[in-house]
């Protein structure tokens, strides 16, 4: 079986940013038992971090399917065309959104005052402290990014923002007025499909484990679905099995529930 794992809130605990030893051992046991563990995350590949890449995963579907790596070989690696990247920055500014652009080197591209928001600013500082590059968009500079997240500013117009970009991006509502924008045609499900095609396997051979609304596309494709105990209510309602939280050995318990380890 191919098992697809989200990272944040699934492999890595959202509060402590720790990976429990039980999760590391469980992924190793999957491989020993002949299964194929794959990371499926919204993060850019270079933002996954060494703690995860050193685990026994065979592949990585990153950036919501925009970067797909299997057994050390890139299957997919794309980003929005230059004209759309420029348009994205302009539309974010026009409608008063606070946007943070995720780059392929694992960093964040900030657009001055247009990237100031208390929730995301804390995440930017965490990444900075962890050594990931933080870029500043300079006047006249070509914006270069994989995808982006945005928050409604104090006077932001979300409906106008969505209307201008919905033809180019899939816009994922992450709650708390936060939206994730992924190039149209790419998703966690698309990343799954690319890997399954390479492995010559079908969705009937899959299990997906996640916790957030950007995991729902892979939940709709996977044969079996698991939501972490700390996951969003909307995700819990759409999964087959709800396991324990990350730090309460949720990964290990889920894999044992399905008899995989």
Amino acid 126: pLDDT: 83
- The one-digit pLDDT tens for each residue of the chain (261 residues) are 999 999 999 999 999 999 999 999 999 999 999 999 999 998 899 989 899 999 999 999 999 999 999 999 999 999 999 999 999 999 999 999 999 999 998 899 999 999 999 888 888 888 888 888 999 999 999 999 999 999 998 889 999 999 999 999 999 888 778 899 999 999 999 999 999 999 999 999 999 999 998 899 999 999 999 999 999 999 999 999 999 999 999 999 999 999 999
Largest separation between any pair of C-alpha atoms in the chain: 56
Q: How far is 213 from 219, CA to CA, in rounded Å?
A: 10
Contact, 161 vs 95, CB < 8 A?
yes
Q: pTM for the whole thing?
A: 0.88
pLDDT of residue 122: 85
At a CB cut-off of 8 Å and minimum separation 6, what does 237 contact? none
Q: Provide the pLDDT for residue 87.
A: 98
Q: State the pLDDT at residue 88.
A: 98
Which pLDDT score, from 0 to 100, does residue 135 have?
94
What are the CA-CA distances from residue 40 to residues 125, 191, 239 (Å)?
Answer: 24, 7, 17
Q: Which two tokens stand for residue 176?
A: 């708390």
d(CA 132, CA 47): 7
Whether 107 and 130 have beta carbons less than 8 Å apart is answered as no
Q: What is the phi/psi pair of residue 128, to 5°?
A: -60, -45
Provide the pLDDT for residue 153.
Answer: 87
């Amino acid at each position: 079986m191919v098992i697809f794992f989200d990272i944040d809130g699934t492999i890595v605990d959202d509060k402590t940013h720790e990976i429990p030893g039980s999760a590391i051992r469980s992924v190793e046991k999957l491989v020993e038992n002949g299964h194929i563990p794959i990371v499926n995350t919204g993060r850019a590949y270079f933002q996954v971090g060494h703690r995860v890449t050193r685990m026994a995963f065979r592949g990585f579907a990153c950036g919501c399917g925009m970067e797909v790596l299997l057994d050390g070989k890139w299957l997919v690696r794309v980003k929005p065309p230059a004209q759309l990247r420029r348009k994205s920055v302009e539309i974010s500014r026009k409608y008063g959104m606070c946007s943070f652009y995720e780059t392929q080197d694992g960093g964040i591209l900030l657009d001055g005052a247009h990237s100031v928001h208390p929730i995301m600013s804390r995440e930017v500082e965490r990444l900075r402290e962890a050594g990931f590059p933080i870029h500043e968009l300079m006047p006249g500079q070509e914006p270069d990014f994989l995808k982006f997240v945005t928050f409604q500013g104090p006077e932001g117009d979300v409906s106008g923002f969505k209307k201008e970009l919905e033809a180019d991006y899939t816009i994922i509502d992450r709650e708390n007025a936060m939206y994730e924008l992924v190039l149209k045609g790419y998703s966690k499900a698309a990343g799954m499909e690319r890997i399954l095609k390479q492995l010559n396997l079908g969705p009937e051979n899959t299990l997906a484990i996640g916790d957030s609304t950007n995991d729902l596309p892979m939940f709709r494709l996977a044969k079996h679905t698991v939501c972490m105990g700390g996951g969003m209510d909307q995700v819990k309602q759409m999964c087959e099995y709800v396991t324990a939280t990350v730090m309460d050995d949720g990964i290990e318990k889920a894999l044992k529930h399905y008899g995989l380890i």
